[in-house]
Amino acid sequence: MTAPTHEQVSSDRLAPEGLAPVRTLTLGAAINAGLRAAMDRDPKVVLMGEDIGALGGVFRVTDGLLKDFGERRVMDTPLAESGIVGTAIGMAFRGYRPVLEIQFDGFIFPAFDQITTSLAKLHYRTKGKLTVPLVIRVPYAGHIGAIEHHSESPEALFAHTAGLRIVSPATPQDGYDMIQQSIASPDPVLFFEPKARYWDKGEVDSTRVASQLDLADGASKATAEMSKARVAREGTDVTLMAYGPTVRLAMQAAVAAAEGGVSVEVLDLRSISPFDYETILASVKKTGRGVVVHEAPVAYGTGGELAAHVAEHAFFHLHAPVLRVGGFHMPYPGSKFEHDYLPSLDRVLDAVDKVMAH
């Protein structure tokens, strides 16, 4: 698969020095710039992954970093995901802050045992004596016309395991901020990147997160902030809850619903584990209706967890049951059926109509 470089579609070069604090970047370029800033800040930050060096990764998110930081900090690895994660755990014990790239979402499963039975549990097993500051970047989700193992959304499988933080940026600003906050966090973080959104552009202010991380308690503040949801659009009738790849779809649905007189509030959840229930419950109690939108299958998914929590804690504020819009309970389909499988504008608006009908 050949993807355009972010340099080709971004209006700015990636080198941070000498650039204005506010730049227009693609999501991919923003993550690249965030990685660069973290590596400048801390010489213990190292990158590992398949083809991330000279090639710059399949999606070019690490483009140029090998040239500027050298092969001791940007390391191409064998095609062995379990070995990559296991090696990184050992490096974290020795004081490094490894940032791994899993080339495609479905390639993470050979490392599932390392992540869920070792990485997630080491802090607890040692009664807090050990921390494992490790970030696993995972390009995920669909809309790129690929097949299974290249377009899946496995976030719920990891969110089910205590001891991991699961986050997903939806905007270039969050891509830039949250990758640095994840690296600064003392906890292991799975950083799910919506690959179909890599070329979406937006303004990125590089000063705010830098000021935060310069504080004595910057890591603590960064960890707390990346776990907070964002009100992407205010509304009064329905709360649409989305993260990563479906935030843009939720915003489109809100615009379309407004033309029909329905005011939709959009929450960009940002963090999947933990969820920011304070913001979620405040919004649903205000609107009285909730719809969750994600690309992962609805069955046994994050939407079910959200719906259950809202029902338990905001039942008497609800005018309608919380509905879920997502993928179907089946293996990810071939590319020509992808658009039938993934949430669409029509399916989201249909859910909005249903909760409004109560």
Closest C-alpha to 107, from 132, 77, 74: 77
pLDDT of residue 327: 97
In this predicted structure, what is the pLDDT of residue 17? 53
Contacts of 125 (CB under 8 A, 6+ apart): none
- Residue 123 φ then ψ, to 5°: -65, -45
Is residue 241 within 8 Å of 277, Cβ to Cβ? no
Region of residue 12 (phi > 0: left; psi between -120 and 50: alpha; otherwise: beta): beta
How far is residue 132's CA from residue 118's CA, in Å, rounded to a whole number?
A: 10
pLDDT of residue 18: 56
3-state DSSP assignment of residue 268: strand
Express each pLDDT in 119-153 by its tens digit.
999 999 999 999 999 999 999 999 888 878 899 99
Residue intervals of the chain classified under CATH 3.40.50.970 are 22-227
Q: Would you tell me the crossing angle of helices 218-225 and 172-184 to the nearest 10 degrees? A: 130
Helix (H) or strand (E) holding 267: strand 264-268
- From-to residues of CATH 3.40.50.920 in the chain: 230-357
DSSP string of 272-321, one letter each residue: EES--HHHHHHHHHHHS-EEEEEEEESTTSHHHHHHHHHHHHHGGG-SSP
Tell me the per-residue pLDDT of 268-304, one tens digit each, with 9 for 90 and over: 999 999 999 999 999 999 999 999 999 999 999 999 9
Classify 22-227 by CATH class: alpha beta
User: 150 an active-site residue?
Assistant: yes
**Active-site hit among 6, 143, 149, 150:** 150
Q: Which CATH architecture fits 230-357? A: 3-Layer(aba) Sandwich (3.40)
Taking CA atoms, 331 is separated from 83, 150, 338, in Å, by 26, 12, 11
pLDDT of residue 13: 39
Kindly report the pTM of this predicted structure: 0.93
Q: What gap in Å lies between CA 52 and CA 307, rounded to an integer?
A: 38
Question: Tell me, what's the pLDDT at 19?
Answer: 61
Helical (H) or strand (E) element with 221: helix 218-225
| pLDDT of res. 2 | 42
- The pLDDT value given to residue 9: 42
Query: Quick one: pLDDT at residue 14?
Result: 43
Residues of the chain with pLDDT under 70: 1-19
CA atoms within 13 A of residue 39's CA, in its CB half-sphere = 23
Strand order in the sheet with 264-268: 230-233, 264-268, 238-242, 290-297, 323-327
Task: Identify whether the C-beta of residue 232 lies closer than 8 Å to the C-beta of residue 180.
Answer: no
pLDDT of 3: 47
